[in-house]
Chains A and B, each alone.
Chain A
C-alpha cells in the first residue's frame, strides 16, 4: 500500500463480510422453508427472507466494488483519494440505508419488484450515496496526471451502473412495460456494466499478480468488455420472451444471449493465459486462486449455465422455475462474489502490513466455498429439472411438485452448510489480518 487513503477499502470490505453472513442466514431460512420447515413464517415469511437475501447480495457486492475502487484508484492514479472523510460518510450512509431497508422488509415496507424491492424514498438516498462515491473517485481520477485503461473501464462501469438504476424508478401502470424497464436495471447491470467492473478489477489483479505487461492485459480487457456489450445489450431480449413484448425478441434475445458465454469464456481464457505467461511468482497465492477461480467459475455459472436455459424453446419450460435459481447462484458467486473476495485477498496484506499469504484457512476457504457452491448448484439443478418435467411437462399441480422435490432441499442445505463453513474460514482469515496499519505504507509494494 502506497497511499494512506487506500485504508478506506478495509472498512468497506469488513462491511461486506458482515452483510454476506446476514445474506447466508436468510438463505438458510428459505432453504428450510422449501424443505417444509417454514417455522419462522409468522416473523420472517418467505417473501421477506427472499427480499433480504437478494438485496443484501446486491448491497454487499456494491460495497465490495466501492471498496475495490477505493483501493485500486489511488494505486492506478498514483495519488491519494480526493476525500477519505467523504468515503467514510458514504459508507456509513450506505449501511444506514441498507439496515433501514432490511428492517422495512420485515414490516411489509417495500416496492415488491424483484431485485428492486428497496422502497422508493430509500432509492433516492441510494442515488445520492452512489453519486457521492462517483464524485469522490471522479475527482481523484480527474486530478491525476495519468489515467490507466483499467481505472477508466472500472469507472465507466460504476457510472453506467448508477445511470441504469434510474429506469427502475419510473412507475408504469402496465406490468409488461414495468417489467421491460426493470430488466434495464437488473440485466444491464449483471450482464452488462457489472462485467465492466469485474473486468476492470480482474485486469488490475492480473497486472499485479502475473507481472504480464499492462498494455497486453488492457488490450484484451477492451476485447472482452467489447464482447460483453456486443452480446449483452441485445441479450436483454432473453427476459422479453414471455412478458408481453413482441415476438421478435425470441429471435433477437435467443441469438445474442447465446453469444453471452463468449465474453465469459474470453474472461476465463484471458486469466488462464496471462497466468501461464506470468513472469513472476507472486507470493499471494490465495489472491491468485480467487482471481483465476473467479474467471473460470464465472464462465461455468454465468456463461455455461446461463446458456443452458436461454434458448427460447428451452426457456418456455424453465422460465420461472428453480432452474433459474440454479444458474443465478453460481453466476453471482463466480462472477461477482469471487471477484470481490479476490480483491479483498489481494488488498488485505497490503492494507494491514501482514504477510499472512498462504494461510491454511485461506486456502481451505477457497476450496470449501467452491465445492459447497457447486453442491448447491447441483441441488438446485436436480430440483429445477424435476420441477420442469413434473409441473411444466406433465401438468402436475405446483404444490404437489414442491412436495416431491423437498428432499433436494436437504441436499441444498447440506451443501450450503459446507459453503458457509468456507465463508466463515475466509472471514476468520480476514479477521486475523487485523486492522489497517500505517506502517504498511510502502512496506508491501511488491508491485512497483
Chain B
C-alpha cells in the first residue's frame, strides 16, 4: 500500500512536472498570441479605450471574450452587431441608457473617449477566439 513518503513524492513530482509543462505552454502561447490577437493593431486609441474600459469597470456588468458579469450584453462582436454610431450615442448619453428597462450607468463620455472605447471594442471583435461566440444553431431563418 502507498506510504506517506510515496504520497509526498507523488505530490512534489506531479506539481513540479505540471508546473513545468504549464510554463512551457505559456511561453509558446505568448509567442503565438500577437498574431492571433492582431497585436499590431493595438493603437494608442485601443490602449486608451482599454484603460477607460477598466477605469469604469465595464466588466462589472458586461462580458468581453465571455469574461465579466452577466447583467449586460456580451460585447465581443458589439461593433459588428450595433455599429459605431449606436455605441457612440450610448457612451456619450448624459442619461442612463436603458434598453428594455435595464439601466446602464450614464458615462457622458467626450467624443474622444467614446472613440477610444469604440476602437478597443473594434479591435476585440477582430481577435481570433477559436470560434466564440458561436453562431446560433437553432436560429429561425424564415
Instruction: Please state if A393 and B137 are interface contacts (CB–CB under 8 Å).
Output: yes
The 8 closest A-B pairs by CB, nearest first: A47-B60, A320-B66, A395-B136, A242-B132, A112-B54, A226-B11, A222-B7, A112-B57
Instruction: Please state if B71 and A34 are interface contacts (CB–CB under 8 Å).
Output: yes
New A-B pairs, 11, CB < 8 Å, besides A229-B18, A400-B100: A46-B69, A110-B57, A149-B8, A236-B22, A243-B129, A246-B36, A320-B70, A393-B137, A398-B73, A402-B102, A403-B100
Q: B-side interface residues toward A, CB under 8 Å?
A: 2-4, 7-8, 10-11, 14-15, 18-19, 21-22, 25-26, 28-30, 32-34, 36-37, 39, 42, 47, 50, 53-61, 63-74, 96, 99-103, 105, 120, 124, 127-134, 136-140
Main secondary structure of the interface of A (DSSP, over half): helix
> A225 in the interface, Cβ–Cβ < 8 Å?
yes
Chain A residues touching B, range? 35 or more
Taking each of A245, A247, A252, which has the highest tally of chain B beta carbons within 10 Å of its own beta carbon?
A: A245
Instruction: Please state if B11 and A222 are interface contacts (CB–CB under 8 Å).
Output: yes
Instruction: Please state if B29 and A399 are interface contacts (CB–CB under 8 Å).
Output: no
Instruction: State the CA gap A110–B53 with chains docked (Å).
Output: 11
Interface residues of A in 208-243 (CB under 8 A from B): 215, 218-220, 222-223, 225-226, 229-230, 233-234, 236, 240-243
Instruction: State the CA gap A368–B116 with chains docked (Å).
Output: 49
Min CB distance A170 to B, Å, is 12
Instruction: State the CA gap A46–B137 with chains docked (Å).
Output: 31
> A36 in the interface, Cβ–Cβ < 8 Å?
yes
Which residues of B have CB within 8 Å of A244?
33, 36-37, 65, 127-129
Which residues of B have CB within 8 Å of A241?
130, 132
Instruction: Please state if A222 and B8 are interface contacts (CB–CB under 8 Å).
Output: yes
Q: A-side interface residues toward B, CB under 8 Å?
A: 30, 33-34, 36, 38, 41, 45-48, 50-51, 105, 108, 110-114, 117, 149, 173-177, 179-180, 215, 218-220, 222-223, 225-226, 229-230, 233-234, 236, 240-250, 252, 316-317, 319-322, 324-325, 387, 389, 392-395, 398-400, 402-403
Instruction: Please state if B4 and A222 are interface contacts (CB–CB under 8 Å).
Output: yes
A-B contact pairs, 27 of them (CB 8 A): A34-B71, A38-B103, A47-B59, A51-B57, A111-B57, A114-B59, A173-B42, A173-B47, A174-B33, A175-B120, A219-B7, A222-B11, A229-B18, A233-B19, A234-B18, A241-B130, A242-B130, A243-B67, A245-B33, A320-B63, A320-B65, A320-B68, A392-B133, A393-B137, A394-B138, A395-B139, A398-B73
